[in-house]
Amino acid sequence: MKKFILHSLFLVASIGLFTACKSGLKPLASDYIKAEPQPLEYVAGKVPVTINATFPAKWFNKKATVVVKPVLRYEGGEAWGTSYTYQGEKVTGNGQVIPQKTGANVTLKSAFDYVPEMAWSELYLTFDAKIGKKSVALPDLKIGEGVLSTAALFDAASETPSISPDKFQRIIKEAYNADIKFLIQRAELRSSELKKAELSDWKDLVANAEQAPNQSVDVEISAYASPDGAYDLNDRLANQREKNTNKYLAKELKKAKVDVPLNARYTAEDWEGFKELVEKSNIQDKNLILSVLSMYKDSEQREREIKNISSVFSVLADEILPQLRRSRLTANVEIIGKSDEEIKALAASSPKGLTEEELLYAATLVKSNAEKRAIYQKVAQLYPNDFRAYNNIGVFDYADGKISQAEANFKKALSISSNAPEPNLNLGFVALTKGDVASAQQFFGKASGAEGLSNALGLVALANGNYQKAASSFTTASNNAALAQLLSKDYSKAQTTLNAVASPNGTTSYLKAIIAARTNNLNAVVSNLKQAIKLDSSLAKKASTDLEFVKYLTNQEFLSIIR
């Protein structure tokens, strides 16, 4: 193919040279043209090129119009770049005027949509020239060859989407409270308080928790005095309230044959409780009261300043302070859930016997993807309004290469919970597999909190050609992370990352071969390419046209691998 192109161009150039000389427009020499980069490189789905050209003095006919357009030719096709029109001083038109006497330097920029065949290609400038109305044939001018396509090894489909986690807790801790109130400046337990249904229910709860085989309980007594009056008096009151309550409760628990830890303490002046009740109230000037609490730390000064707010003190005395003269009883109950073995067994035999969170947790206890998928499908069946089931089924579809099926499940999850971070993240991965970077960025913007978001942002940076940013974004070892490091020319780090990839594939070894080629290690090129082709035979053809290995095209050992 290459010989055919060169032969044809030689004929065109010969004819064009003869015609052009008679017209006054000579073929431009390659010395006047420079295309960058050399070779061309794949960047963000495109092959960009900047061409700096010089029309030398006295070259441009004053009546001439020349349309210059780059073309990238490869086996099976060609891609055309942006046209630029230049004209002589006597031409009326919209092109850039080139003075005949001095000539001019011009810059042409183009970007070709990348296809893999471009790896082995040739870049030409073509000329559509006229003097007046008469066409002038100028030969195409070769100005470069080949596209370095290493960045095209980017593969969003190889990334691991984000699982929506369960909220399973083996031990659930709950605190249950009941209050015994006291009269102002008194510490005696009143019969009316001890007969309250609230206190009776609380004691029953403690007894039941103590007897339940999967629960444990301990009890706390916190006695308080309200923060009005002298501190010494309040301290004695709170202390006596704590002793009286402790003695009463110990007797009640013993009578009920309930043996639980009992801890007691007291607080002389309950300013924290006071602040909490004021914040929840609709008391006039409550913000002024709260500002006093923040400004003054001394108890007596606080009390004086609050009493000075005469408009509200009577309300405080009637509504807030009585609630602080109390002993608070707290039952700390721990509910101990099923063991892993029990959960795993029920998930297999009777999933209805598990709660939603237990069933989701069960998927973390099995090893194979098939078992995990089956459990998530059971969650979807039993709890169809839980977005996590559909998202997590989609994760395994994605891992199996069923991208469309995965997308449908991620969208189903998002239809249930539009702000859920994991399906948003995963739909961003799907968008990247389609080359839709803009949509991926929108999805990732809604994925705050999802595991793997940093890697996702690294993918976006890699897709956009921002290799340094990509290299610093990845947090787990993957082919994509190593590719970003390789393209940033951090070969040592890229090698370390590739060695740490959990499930290496053909691309892993191929990237190792590229690093070896860039660091002039022929033995490593050969061994890694052998392994890459063993895992993925299509990589042999890719290596044969990959400019990363162009210097080895005459090496027999290299050629024996790729044939």
Q: Is pLDDT at 4 greater than 70 in this prediction?
A: no
Assign domain 2-148 to its CATH architecture: Sandwich (2.60)
Q: Is pLDDT at 308 greater than 90 in this prediction?
A: no
Q: Which of 356, 404, 349 is closest to 380 using CA atoms? A: 356
Model confidence pLDDT, tens digit, residues 241-262: 999 999 999 999 999 999 999 9
Q: Where are the alpha helices (DSSP H) in 400-476?
A: 403-416, 421-433, 437-444, 453-463, 467-473
Range of weakest confidence among 265-274, 295-304, 487-496, 512-521: 295-304
Q: Which residues contact 549 (CB under 8 A, 6 or more apart)?
A: 513, 517, 525, 543, 558
Sequence spans of domains, the chain: 2-148, 171-336
pLDDT of residue 311: 64
Q: Is pLDDT at 559 greater than 60 in this prediction?
A: yes
Q: How far lies 394's CA from each of 211, 363, 414, in Å?
A: 44, 14, 12
Strands 215-224 and 64-74 come out as: unpaired
Helix H, strand E, coil C: the string for 286-300 is HHHHHHHHHHCCCHH
Q: Is pLDDT at 23 greater than 60 in this prediction?
A: no
3-class DSSP state for residue 198?
helix
Helix H, strand E, coil C: the string for 528-561 is HHHHHHHHCCCHHHHHHCCHHHHHHCCCHHHHHH
Pairwise CA distance, residues 380 & 490, whole Å: 45
Fold type of domain 171-336? 60s Ribosomal Protein L30; Chain: A; (3.30.1330)
Model confidence pLDDT, tens digit, residues 218-240: 999 999 998 888 889 999 999 99
pTM of the model: 0.75
Q: How many helices (H) and strands (E) does the chain have?
A: 24, 16
For range 77-106, the mean pLDDT: 96
Model confidence pLDDT, tens digit, residues 356-391: 999 999 999 999 999 999 999 999 999 999 999 999
Handedness of CA 60, 61, 66, 70 (dihedral sign): negative
Q: Is pLDDT at 338 greater than 60 in this prediction?
A: yes
Q: Is pLDDT at 8 greater than 70 in this prediction?
A: no
First to last CA, the chain: 18
DSSP states along 465-508 = T-HHHHHHH--S--HHHHHHHHHTT-HHHHHHHHHT-SS--HHH
For range 396-413, the mean pLDDT: 97
Q: Is pLDDT at 204 greater than 60 in this prediction?
A: yes
pLDDT of residue 2: 39
- Residue 515 in contact with residue 493, Cβ under 8 Å? no
Q: Is pLDDT at 426 greater than 80 in this prediction?
A: yes
Per-residue b/e over 540-558, b at no fewer than 16 CB within 10 Å? eebbbbbbbbeebeeeeeb
Q: Is pLDDT at 272 greater than 60 in this prediction?
A: yes
For range 60-84, the mean pLDDT: 96
pLDDT of residue 9: 36
Strands 104-113 and 64-74 come out as: unpaired
Range of weakest confidence among 97-106, 161-170, 317-326: 317-326
Residue 184 — very low, low, confident or very high, per pLDDT cuts 50/70/90? very high
Q: Is pLDDT at 29 greater than 50 in this prediction?
A: yes
For range 480-485, the mean pLDDT: 98
Q: Which of 485, 476, 482 is closest to 454 using CA atoms? A: 476
Alpha carbon of residue 281 to chain centroid: 43
Residue 19 — very low, low, confident or very high, per pLDDT cuts 50/70/90? very low
Q: Is pLDDT at 16 greater than 70 in this prediction?
A: no
Range of weakest confidence among 30-39, 291-300, 543-552: 291-300
Range of weakest confidence among 43-52, 164-173, 302-311, 314-323: 302-311
Mean pLDDT, the chain, whole residue set: 91
Two domains, one topology: 2-148 and 171-336: no
